[in-house]
Amino acid sequence: MNTLVRENRSSNGDRPTPEQFVAPAATVLENNDGYTLEVEMPGVNKESLEMWVENNELTILGRRSMPVIEGTRLHQESRPENFRRSFELDPSIDAGKISAKIEQGVVTLTLPKAERVKPRKIAVA
């Protein structure tokens, strides 16, 4: 209940996806107001990033545009696949208020909790 993200590994649904993706590294932070999700997608920019919420599941898809270098590749550690990962949203999240930005290949999503679930101080009359 408290975890924002129970990662959904079988998120392809009924549609077969022939394309292979790499799951990007993610960090999730929680505070009283909501969650912050940081996802590492080097080589992805604003134009090549897609995000959607469907059936209470958030999916982030980033297509990489890597620098094109002429010549011979002597050594490779990077993965050529695009990034994709899905997260199940905690019921406390107000899905309509999710916002996102991308900066130097890191997507930062702000997922606010719905007002009704926020901790509230009760004043003594």
For residue 57, give the nearest of 97, 16, 7, 111 by alpha carbon.
7
Q: Does 106 bind other proteins (CB under 8 A)?
A: yes
How many chain residues touch other proteins (CB under 8 A)? 38
Closer residue to other proteins (CB): 13 or 42: 42
For residue 39, give the nearest of 17, 20, 59 by alpha carbon.
59
Contacts of 63 (CB under 8 A, 6+ apart): 44, 48, 49, 82
Q: Does 117 bind other proteins (CB under 8 A)?
A: no
Closer residue to other proteins (CB): 25 or 117: 25
Please pick, from the candidates 52, 66, 97, 117, the single residue that binds other proteins as defined by CB under 8 A: 66
Closer residue to other proteins (CB): 75 or 121: 75
DSSP per position, 4-50: S-EE-S-TTTTS---S-EEPPPEEEEEETTEEEEEEE-TT--GGGEE
Q: Does 124 bind other proteins (CB under 8 A)?
A: no
Closer residue to other proteins (CB): 35 or 84: 35
Residue 9, φ and ψ in degrees, nearest 5: -85, -20
Site residues (vs other proteins, CB under 8 A): 2-5, 25-31, 35-36, 38, 40-45, 65-67, 69-79, 103-106
